[in-house]
Amino acid sequence: MDHAELHDFIVEAKAATYVGGGAKAPSSRTGAHDLQYRRGDWAYRDSYFGGTDFLGQEIVWWHDEPVWVMNYYGRVLDPSAIDGARAGHVIRTALPAMYREGRFLGGFSMEVGLYRYADESEGDPQSFVGLERIFADGREVYRMNYHGGLVVP
């Protein structure tokens, strides 16, 4: 498996699913919301619970073997400043711009209406930790922590 190809597939799959309005997949676990994407020998699934506050996992398979994962937990910190629908709008507006840069890890910020989206991370697709945040008037109103990397048998 080529790491550059894996990186490109992750960006492609992320752009095609949650932010791209991709088709929902059958739930892999009771109560989960699942999205999936396939291309050739590559497959991707994003499976999460909740809505405004949520927890999930993304997995990439190559030749039906899991090779990469990311876990995440996000929540609205100030419901008087932002709700789940507005946070989703900010995220669905900002992330495609980052994906168009050919990447999915942090070092990215963008103004979206009254909000500022910011994503910061350490590491690379092989092993990383990150923080996605939304600010309103300089105050953090939404936060998602994420981490992941390669799966090695």
Query: pLDDT at position 20, please?
Result: 84
How many other C-beta atoms are found inside a 10 Å radius of the C-beta of residue 79?
11
- pTM (2 d.p.): 0.93
Going by pLDDT thresholds of 50, 70 and 90, the confidence category of residue 140 is very high
Quick: pLDDT tens for 6-46: 999 999 999 999 888 887 899 989 999 999 999 999 999 99
Looking at residue 81, the DSSP 8-state letter turns out to be T
CA distances, 60 to each of 28, 39, 115, 133 (Å): 15, 11, 31, 24
Query: pLDDT at position 153, please?
Result: 83
Quick: pLDDT tens for 89-128: 999 999 999 999 999 998 999 999 999 999 999 999 999 9
Q: How far apart are CA 22 and CA 125, in angstroms?
A: 23
Going by pLDDT thresholds of 50, 70 and 90, the confidence category of residue 83 is very high
